[in-house]
Amino acid sequence: MEEVYRITRRVARSNASVLLLGETGTGKELIAAAIHHLSNRATGPFVRVNCGALSESLLESELFGHVHGAFTGAIKNRTGRFEAAHTGTIFLDEINSTSRMLQVKLLRVLQEREFERVGDTQTIQVDVRVIAASNRNLLQMVDDDGFREDLYWRLNVVPIEIPPLRHRREDIPELVAHFLNHYSELNDRYVVHIQREALDALQNYHWPGNVRELQNYAERAVVMADGDELTLDLLPPAVVGREQPRKLERGIDFETLTYEVVQQGLSTAAPDEDRLHAKIVNRVERELIVQVMLSCNNVQTKAAARLGINRNTLHKKLKEYDLETPL
């Protein structure tokens, strides 16, 4: 995180495009806001757009605006987010969710600093800095033909990778203290202490939802606490070990999965190292296929492309792991 802060301060003084990479909930929007407020554009607008929250047609209108009559429901001219961000910064969150057609238009804005509103022929020029964020591996998406390579390199001038909370557990005490103070003030409470057992549970938890999940639990504790201390009973069952931790929002929780398999292997008498390794690999591979098949709605061609294997290989794997029935 110290490296993240160092790069953030340095890149803020430039006009370079920035690509923020990291899992959901790691704080990408906070870093984007920090870059804006530390830049010479701080007096200009900071405009946020969640690209994953809108359909392609709505997102295009949201980004570039539209004119009266451009489509059904366009009853008046509308200014887009790029135009609204003139002299400031636009933050494109979940840029990985955009269609390839929209990516072409985004590339033009990045290269030429100009665009047309939907349904219009008049070219609008803007002076705007672009910060994009993705919770998926964009380079892998480029390889899978899901993201334009030219747009990737245009966005990836300065990449900043934000580590998940489970890789920086030493930050948890200060984060908890910050959130307790913040929500105590908002709710007129005084929950400012942390029970040792509760802190241990927080530091041992895997945090699939990252800092956002921690923030949620801290707010809940402030609201539900009887006294001035965050105690073990105020934490959710998954955090204190009374419930199986869920998988990450995207992909597989490999650390937890591997730990579980290793523990299962160690619980047997004198486990063979090669056999244990094979068991771990098979379990992880099976779970990976399950996750990808679910995300692709059981379309084998699409799943095979995402896994980087051909369809025949995937079919054999589905048969091998008894996954031939639609998931």
Percentage above 90 pLDDT, the chain: 58
Domain covering 2-163 in this structure, CATH number: 3.40.50.300
| Lowest mean pLDDT segment, chosen from 28-32, 123-127, 216-220, 237-241 | 237-241
The answer to whether the beta carbons of residues 253 and 247 sit under 8 Å apart is: yes
- In this predicted structure, what is the pLDDT of residue 268? 46
The answer to whether the beta carbons of residues 49 and 91 sit under 8 Å apart is: yes
Measure the CA–CA gap between 170 and 153, rounded to whole angstroms: 34
Q: How many CB atoms lie within 10 A of CB 10?
A: 11
Nearest to 221 by CA among 194, 200, 203, 245: 194
> Once rounded to an integer, what is the mean pLDDT over residues 180-189?
95
- Chain segment 96-124, per-residue pLDDT in tens: 999 998 999 999 999 999 988 888 888 99
The answer to whether the beta carbons of residues 140 and 292 sit under 8 Å apart is: no
Measure the CA–CA gap between 191 and 222, rounded to whole angstroms: 6
Mean pLDDT computed over every residue of the chain? 86
More confident residue, 302 or 266: 302
> Once rounded to an integer, what is the mean pLDDT over residues 220-241?
93
Q: Is the pLDDT of residue 54 over 70?
A: yes
Could you please report the per-residue DSSP string of 187-204?
TT----EE-HHHHHHHHH
More confident residue, 323 or 86: 86
> Once rounded to an integer, what is the mean pLDDT over residues 242-264?
50
Measure the CA–CA gap between 169 and 204, rounded to whole angstroms: 8
Q: How does residue 70 score in pLDDT terms, banded at 50, 70 and 90?
A: low
Nearest to 246 by CA among 207, 217, 213: 207
Q: Same CATH topology for 2-163 and 169-240?
A: no
Give the N- to C-terminal CA distance of the chain in Å, as an integer.
Answer: 39
- In this predicted structure, what is the pLDDT of residue 229? 95
- In this predicted structure, what is the pLDDT of residue 285? 82
- In this predicted structure, what is the pLDDT of residue 252? 47
- In this predicted structure, what is the pLDDT of residue 270? 46
State the pTM of this model: 0.72
Q: Under DSSP, is residue 46 helix (H, G, I), strand (E, B) or coil?
A: strand
Q: Is the pLDDT of residue 253 over 60?
A: no
Both tokens of 270, joined, read 């004198």
| Lowest mean pLDDT segment, chosen from 4-18, 24-38, 54-68, 197-211 | 54-68
Question: At CA 136, angle to CA 133 and CA 139, rounded to 5?
Answer: 95
Q: Which of 10-19, 270-279, 300-309 tops mean pLDDT? A: 10-19
- In this predicted structure, what is the pLDDT of residue 313? 82
The answer to whether the beta carbons of residues 236 and 202 sit under 8 Å apart is: no
- In this predicted structure, what is the pLDDT of residue 194? 95
Measure the CA–CA gap between 288 and 197, rounded to whole angstroms: 34
More confident residue, 297 or 208: 208
- In this predicted structure, what is the pLDDT of residue 170? 94
Alpha helices in the chain (DSSP H): 2-12, 28-37, 56-64, 81-84, 100-112, 138-143, 149-155, 172-186, 196-204, 210-224, 237-240, 254-266, 273-295, 300-307, 311-320
Measure the CA–CA gap between 313 and 163, rounded to whole angstroms: 33
Q: Is the pLDDT of residue 278 over 50?
A: yes
> Once rounded to an integer, what is the mean pLDDT over residues 234-247?
76
Q: How does residue 269 score in pLDDT terms, banded at 50, 70 and 90?
A: very low
- In this predicted structure, what is the pLDDT of residue 249? 43
- In this predicted structure, what is the pLDDT of residue 327? 59
* CATH superfamily assigned to domain 254-320: Homeodomain-like (1.10.10.60)
> CA neighbours within 13 Å on the CB side: how many for 308?
6
Q: Is the pLDDT of residue 204 over 50?
A: yes
Q: Is the pLDDT of residue 251 over 50?
A: no
- In this predicted structure, what is the pLDDT of residue 277? 65
Burial class (CB in 10 A: 0-12, 13-18, 19+), 285: middle
| Domain residue limits, the chain | 2-163, 169-240, 254-320
Q: Under DSSP, is residue 161 helix (H, G, I), strand (E, B) or coil?
A: strand
- In this predicted structure, what is the pLDDT of residue 299? 81
169-240: which CATH topology? Helicase, Ruva Protein; domain 3 (1.10.8)
Percentage above 70 pLDDT, the chain: 86
